[in-house]
Every structure is written in C-alpha cells, then in structure tokens.
Amino acid sequence: MKRFASAALAGFAALASCGAHAQENKEVVIGVTISTTGPAAALGIPERNALDFVPKEIAGVKLRVIALDDGGDPTNATNNARRFVTESKADFIMGSSVTPPTVAVSTVANEAGIPHFGLAPMPFTPAREKWSVDLPQPIPVVGKVLYEHMKKSNVKTVGFIGYSDSYGDLWMGDLKAQAANMGLQIVADERFARPDTSVTGQVLKLVAVNPDAVLVGASGTAAALPQIELRERGYKGPIYQTHGAASMDFIRIAGKAAEGVFMAAGPVMAPEGQSDDALTKKPGLALNSAYEAKYGPNSRSQFAAHTYDAFEVLKRIIPVAVKQATPGTPEFREAVRKALVSEREIVASQGVYNFTERDRYGVDERSRILLTVKDGKYAVVK
C-alpha cells in the first residue's frame, strides 16, 4: 500500500508539474523593438505609448510584452530581435519604427521562423515575406492619393527630396512607377541623411529647377527640415509630404512653413470626419480618445496606431492559433502564420487587413486620406 501511495503521489506530482508547465506556456510573448531615442523618436515614442491601450489577454491567453529601444539603428534592432528569439522565446516580434531597422528585424524573424509585424514601410523579398507582414500603408497606395492630387492641381513637373536610405528609395521608386502614367515629369532627385541638420544645398538645387511641386520623402520630425528650408528659400509651389510625416510634431516644428502642405495619412488622424459606415472609424475614435485623454489634446498619432493595430490583428489570429497549438512552440507560430493569411477583413484604426502570401500589407484605399494644414491644424482634403 505504501508503494502504491508513493507511486500515486509521484504521479499526481508529475501531473501537477505538467499542468504548471502548460499554464506557463499559456502565455504569448511579444518582443517589440522601436526607436524611442534618436532621430526616429517622434515615431517610436507614440508607438511605445500605444502599448498602454492594447489588451493584456486574448482568448484567455495572457500577453507578455517586452519593449526595447533600438535608437533607429539597424544593428541595435538586429540585436534586440535576436534577444527576443534566443532569450525571450518570443511568439511575435514587432518593429521597428523606420525602414532600415525594420528590414533588419524582418531578416532575423524570417531566419528564426517567428511572425513579424513591421511598423514602418519596407521592401519585401522572397526571403523575407513568409513570416513578415507590415502594418503601415504600402507606399503605392498612399502615393497614389498624392499623385492624383498633383494631377488634379495641374502639376506637370515634380522635384523630390528624401532620405538617402531605403525609405527614400521606396518613394522615388514609386514616384517613377506612377508619375509617368499621370503625366508627371520628375526633374530633381535630392537626398539627405536622417541625422542631417541642414538641407540648404539640396533645397537650393530644387529652387533653381523650380518644379511645379515638391515631394518630400522623409519621416518624423526630420520631414519638417525640407519644408522649412523650401519656404525660407522662397519656393512658392505646393509641397507634398508622405504618411511618414503625419504627426502633430510636424506642425509644431515646421510652424508657419507647414501651412498649406499636402500630406498623405492614415484615417486615424481624422476619424471624426469618416462616414458612420467606415469600418476604421470606431477603432480610430477609440484609440484617439484613450490616447489624448492620457497624453493631452491633439496628441493623436498615426504611429501609435501602427502598434495599436498590430494588437487588433492579434485579436483575430490568436484565438484561431491557440485552438491548434500551444504558445511558445513552433506549431503555434506556424498556426499564426496560416491564420494571418486566412482571416479576412481584419478591422483596425488604419485600415482593413486582408493579408495574403504575396500581399504582406493587406490594405486598400480605405487605409489612407489626404490632409492639409490650415491655421496650424490638420484638415481633411475632400
């Protein structure tokens, strides 16, 4: 009897141990690498702040979020991503805030076979599209609304000034791809580095060419630098900014020079103006209400929405994946990957996502609006 009792107790202990282990695994680990310091801090800080408003649990599974700063540096982002893989055993990786480190994180995630949510536009290659999707709007979708407005405004020649990295390359590539079909001629291509504090030389070249309009391919507060310089050097034509510049900080830094700018943005920047049947209206209002209640009036941010929307996507795919596998396992990550491309019409504040094996952005024209600045405030261009 004693032997039986001893064996029974051992069995119960083993079951209890297994149960505790299963309970431990009933947790989804999410590693987030963003740029809360450095030139991209204006993007990364709102992305970090948005973590205040995301769920702590989905489908009965606790979410453990580990957020690290990469300073906008691809090497730091790579190191953070590798830590998520080896130390944290992450089920998801998110980040980064700007294009070059996002590409670096995507590379690590695809090597490790971990779902990755990019928070900045990036180019996709076959080696990096299996495990990565991107939350911001793809450049061709937002670019189109800018070029269409140029055409409508009888713009014939366009000058470009943008980053001398992959973000600038993406925008120049898209401008070339779409401009010719709309009768737009590119007459200048000027570049500057993200940390630069002056673009006087580049702007003087643009002013000398005097294009009908200028497109600025930059993000964060650095996008204000060409805006200010162009106006100070006497350029009178329309200036167009990308969705990478869509923040309240742009107006604060550019000041009077921001007046009249045309800027592509996600619908979260003005959900109040959306029709009641717009699917993005409700989540956009929810995020902005919570964000501005904590961080002050007019603090809303498109970049906060990227993080917020990543968790809106998780609300749809985690319940599907946990029915098939346990978090913390390769089987769970594979179930997530499949759910990402099988779930349809995933509603979020910045768009309605329909990812496929080839379309890793998954959004359409519902994901962008056109803004201008009037009297120091953003207004929707109808």
Alpha helices, DSSP H, located in the chain: 2-25, 41-49, 74-86, 99-112, 139-152, 166-179, 200-209, 224-232, 248-254, 281-295, 302-322, 330-342
Q: In the prediction, which pLDDT does 273 show?
A: 85
Does residue 160 sit in the same domain as residue 219? yes
Question: Does residue 29 sit within a domain?
Answer: yes
Alpha-carbon distance of 43 to 341, in angstroms, equals: 28
Could you tell me which of 81, 70, 64 has the C-alpha nearest to residue 44?
Answer: 70
In the three-class reduction of DSSP (H, G, I as helix; E, B as strand; rest coil), residue 202 is classed as helix
Instruction: For residues 155 and 259, give the distance between their C-alpha atoms in angstroms, rounded to a whole number.
Output: 19
- CB count within 10 Å of CB 104 equals 24
Identify whether the C-beta of residue 95 lies closer than 8 Å to the C-beta of residue 119: yes
For the chain, how many helices (H) and strands (E)?
Answer: 12, 15
**Pairing, β 352-353 against β 346-347:** antiparallel
Domain boundary among 265, 289, 312: 265
pLDDT (tens digit, 0 to 9) for every residue of the chain, 382 residues total? 444 344 333 443 443 333 333 334 589 999 999 999 998 999 999 999 999 999 999 999 999 999 999 999 999 999 999 999 999 999 999 999 999 999 999 999 999 999 999 999 999 999 999 999 999 999 999 999 999 999 999 999 999 999 999 999 999 999 999 988 899 999 999 999 999 999 999 999 999 999 999 999 999 889 999 999 999 999 999 999 999 999 888 999 999 999 999 999 999 999 998 889 999 999 999 999 999 999 999 899 999 999 999 999 999 999 999 999 999 999 999 999 999 999 999 999 999 999 999 999 999 999 999 999 999 999 999 8
Retrieve residue 379's tokens: 């207004």
Q: Note whether residue 283 is domain-resident.
A: no
Residue 281 lies in a domain: no
Is residue 355 assigned to a domain? yes
Which residue reads 């609300």 in tokens? 315
**CA pair distance 161, 152, nearest whole angstrom:** 22
Residue 373 in any domain: the answer is no
Clarify whether residues 144 and 253 are in a common domain: yes
Query: Are 133 and 167 part of one and the same domain?
Result: no
Whether 159 is covered by a domain: the verdict is yes
* Residue 272 placed within a domain: no
252: tokens are 């604060």
Q: What is the pTM of this model?
A: 0.86
Question: Which helix (H) or strand (E) covers residue 263, if one does?
Answer: strand 262-265
Query: How many domains would you assign to the chain?
Result: 2
Residues 128, 170, single domain; the answer is no
Query: Do residues 110 and 143 both lie within one domain?
Result: no
63 bridge partner residues? 28
User: How high is the pLDDT of residue 288?
Assistant: 97
Residue closest to 217 by CA, chosen among 290, 179, 166 = 166
How many other CB atoms are found less than 10 A from the CB of residue 299? Answer: 17
79 in the same domain as 29: yes
> HSE (CB half, 13 Å, CA atoms) of 353?
32
Helix (H) or strand (E) holding 94: strand 92-94
Are 191 and 144 contained in the same domain? Answer: yes
Are residue 113 and residue 21 in the same domain, yes or no?
yes
106 plus 224 within the same structural domain: no
Residue numbers of the domain that contains 81: 7-137+300-365
> Is residue 343 domain-resident?
yes
In terms of DSSP bridges, do strands 239-241 and 262-265 run parallel, antiparallel, or are they unpaired? parallel
DSSP 4-17: HHHHHHHHHHHHHH
* Backbone region of residue 216 per phi and psi (left: phi > 0; alpha: psi in -120 to 50; beta: other values): beta
Q: Is the dihedral of CA 363, 367, 370, 373 positive or negative?
A: negative
Same-domain pairing of 162 and 64 = no
Rg (CA), the chain: 23
pLDDT value for 16: 39
- Considering the domain architecture, whether residues 158 and 98 belong to the same structural domain is answered as no
Long-range contacts of 64-67 (CB under 8 A, 24+ apart): 64/27, 64/28, 64/29, 64/30, 65/30, 65/32, 66/29, 66/30, 66/31, 66/32, 66/90, 67/32, 67/33, 67/34
CATH number at residue 146: 3.40.50.2300
Task: Count the neighbouring beta carbons within 10 Å of the beta carbon of residue 169.
Answer: 16
The answer to whether residues 340 and 355 touch, using CB atoms and an 8 Å cutoff, is: yes
- Close Cβ partners of 358 (under 8 Å, ≥ 6 residues apart): 129
Are both 14 and 119 inside the same structural domain?
Answer: yes
What is the reported pLDDT for 71? Answer: 97
